[in-house]
């Protein structure tokens, strides 16, 4: 079999109107799929230039296949089991700005470019005050985007009609507003021209978004079946569930350039995305983050396996219904229906969602996905959410880096990993001290979590000691059955 490329597939020629920061599984299984649908149905006619936001990534592999890859969608649709594959052909350029910075900046001069889309993980939208040398590729995503906008401003001599529609998909609150704030702050740190900063503020159009689709990624256990079915080799296959939801805050220019709600997909332009955001991040993403260290340390590798385990599935269900749902201000029947749909999606028989893929950047994920539920629950109930704190204790245990005799391949910010190592290196058997020190880690949590409730450290310490001395399997069984 041959490698998927233009030799095998008649790829349309399109002007590149969209630049996408991030070449990972989610964007390829979600946003590019939506762009494909818009192209196919004539709502737009746009190619995509994909920018690799980190020195490591997939643009080389995508380039070797002329930007072509197979999307495999599997799940339950209308009560029927569905498996379908299709080639996504919207990527027309793949850029590594660390290797070819000028090629990247040249897109700032493009008459055709209209839209910027990003998904650089929750940690991606943040100001790096050391991004001060724009003669080389900036380290941060806001730095890269600011460099591109500066090239655009200079090339078009400040023309306010040359601003871009900027659509971040990172899972943080008010992601559009936050990216706007980061760009302005970084420009001010670099003492950039005030007229340029004003152009960033007024000529460009930022919208906040919410994205929802479970994307397990490369289906390594099914690749032979897929290749036999398609008749070609594809090293960039990505797998996702059938369910999808994209909520964008209404912004006229974004709606004009990216009319993603016009082709019948589950896309909403809303006046306020906050209720949708809270529901999705707290329930789906939050339960993922709570599940991972508990299930993984109990010897389980995938979400599906975890939800077929009576103990773990009860733990997750009780966490969602008893501790998360009460903190969201939506009608109870809507919350119950959404929570049940999430549990059903976790049990999708076609999806092999590796727990370790969800564990990426788990420190930041706790802060963005679980900490709001913790603080909201304490304010609402005046007591601690026990399932959530058991999960936090499991996160501490997970970052010891061992599952039995097996090393865990921790993947997080190097500074965070160094801190986790120092916490465990300093451990002398005093679980209360370890709990207090971890809860007090302001650089990670943006607060001292010891202040949330007087019993929080004692509670976390007791769960952590149980996990470490009895093993996760016995500890979680005792917790669930208590």
50-60 pLDDT, tens digit per residue, is 999 999 899 99
Range 6-13 average pLDDT: 96
Residue 482 has pLDDT above 90, yes or no: no
Residue 168 has pLDDT above 80, yes or no: yes
Helix or strand run (H / E) with residue 21: strand 16-21
pLDDT digit string (tens) for 65-106? 999 999 999 987 766 788 899 999 999 999 999 999 999 999
Confidence of residue 334 (pLDDT cuts 50, 70, 90): confident
C-alpha 261/C-alpha 35 separation (Å) is 11
Lowest-confidence region among 15-24, 206-215, 331-340: 331-340
pLDDT at 78: 67
Residue 28 has pLDDT above 80, yes or no: yes
C-alpha 143/C-alpha 135 separation (Å) is 12
Nearest of 254, 241, 244, 309 to residue 280 by alpha carbon: 244
CA 127 centroid distance within chain: 18
Lowest-confidence region among 144-158, 160-174, 271-285, 451-465: 271-285
Residue 393 has pLDDT above 70, yes or no: yes
pTM for the model stands at 0.73
pLDDT at 380: 97
Residue 204 has pLDDT above 70, yes or no: yes
Range 379-405 average pLDDT: 97
CA 255 centroid distance within chain: 23
pLDDT at 331: 84
C-alpha 158/C-alpha 155 separation (Å) is 8
What integer best gives the mean pLDDT of the chain?
95
Angle formed at CA 36 by CA 284 and CA 13, multiple of 5 degrees: 150
pLDDT at 353: 85
| Rounded alpha-carbon distances, angstroms, from residue 239 to 59, 206, 464 | 18, 29, 35
pLDDT at 311: 97
What backbone torsions phi and psi does residue 285 show, to the nearest 5 degrees?
A: -70, -40
pLDDT at 27: 97
Confidence of residue 153 (pLDDT cuts 50, 70, 90): very high
End-to-end CA separation in angstroms for the chain: 56
| DSSP single-letter state for residue 217 | B
Q: What number of CA atoms fall less than 13 Å from residue 171's CA on the CB side?
A: 26
Backbone dihedral region for residue 471 (phi beyond 0: left; psi -120 to 50: alpha; all else: beta): left
């Amino acid at each position: 079999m041959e490698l998927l490329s233009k030799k095998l597939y008649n790829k349309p020629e399109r002007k590149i109107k969209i630049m996408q920061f991030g070449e990972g599984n989610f964007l390829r299984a979600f946003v590019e799929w939506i762009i494909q649908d818009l192209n196919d149905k004539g709502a737009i006619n746009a190619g995509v230039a994909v920018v690799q936001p980190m020195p490591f990534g997939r643009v080389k592999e995508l380039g070797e296949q002329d930007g072509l890859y197979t999307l495999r969608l599997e799940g339950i649709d209308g009560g029927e089991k569905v498996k379908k594959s299709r080639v996504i052909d919207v990527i027309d350029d793949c850029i590594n700005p660390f290797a070819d910075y000028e090629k990247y900046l040249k897109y700032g001069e493009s008459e055709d470019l209209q839209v910027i889309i990003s998904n650089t993980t929750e940690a991606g939208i943040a100001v790096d005050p050391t991004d001060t040398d724009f003669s080389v590729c900036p380290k941060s995503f806001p730095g890269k985007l600011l460099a591109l906008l500066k090239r655009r401003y200079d090339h078009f001599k400040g023309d306010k009609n040359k601003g871009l529609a900027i659509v971040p998909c990172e899972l943080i609150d008010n992601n559009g507003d936050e990216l706007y704030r980061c760009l302005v702050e970084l420009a001010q740190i670099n003492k950039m021209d005030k007229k340029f900063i004003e152009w960033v503020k007024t000529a460009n159009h930022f919208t906040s978004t919410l994205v929802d689709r479970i994307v397990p990624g490369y289906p390594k256990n099914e690749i032979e079946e897929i290749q036999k079915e398609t008749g070609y080799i594809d090293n960039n296959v990505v797998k996702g569930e059938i369910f999808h939801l994209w909520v964008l805050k209404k912004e006229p220019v974004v709606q004009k350039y990216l009319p993603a709600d016009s082709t019948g997909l589950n896309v909403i332009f809303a006046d306020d995305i906050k209720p949708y955001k809270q529901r999705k991040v707290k329930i789906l993403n939050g339960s993922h983050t709570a599940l991972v260290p508990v299930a993984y340390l109990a010897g389980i590798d995938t979400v599906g396996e975890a939800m077929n385990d009576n103990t773990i599935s009860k733990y997750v269900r009780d966490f969602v219904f008893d501790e998360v749902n009460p903190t969201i201000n939506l009608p109870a029947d809507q919350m119950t229906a959404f929570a049940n749909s999430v549990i059903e999606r976790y049990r999708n028989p076609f999806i092999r969602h590796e727990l370790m893929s969800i564990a990426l950047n788990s420190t930041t994920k706790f802060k963005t996905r679980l900490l709001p539920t913790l603080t909201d629950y304490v304010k609402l109930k005046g007591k601690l959410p026990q399932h959530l704190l058991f999960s936090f204790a499991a996160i501490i245990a997970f970052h010891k880096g061992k599952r039995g005799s097996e090393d865990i391949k921790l993947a997080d910010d190097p500074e965070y990993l160094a801190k986790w190592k120092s916490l465990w290196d300093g451990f002398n058997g005093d679980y209360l001290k370890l709990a207090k020190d971890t809860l007090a880690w302001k650089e990670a949590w943006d607060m001292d979590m010891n202040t949330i409730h007087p019993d929080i450290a004692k509670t976390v310490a007791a769960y952590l000691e149980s996990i470490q001395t009895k093993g996760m399997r016995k500890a979680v069984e005792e917790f669930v059955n208590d």
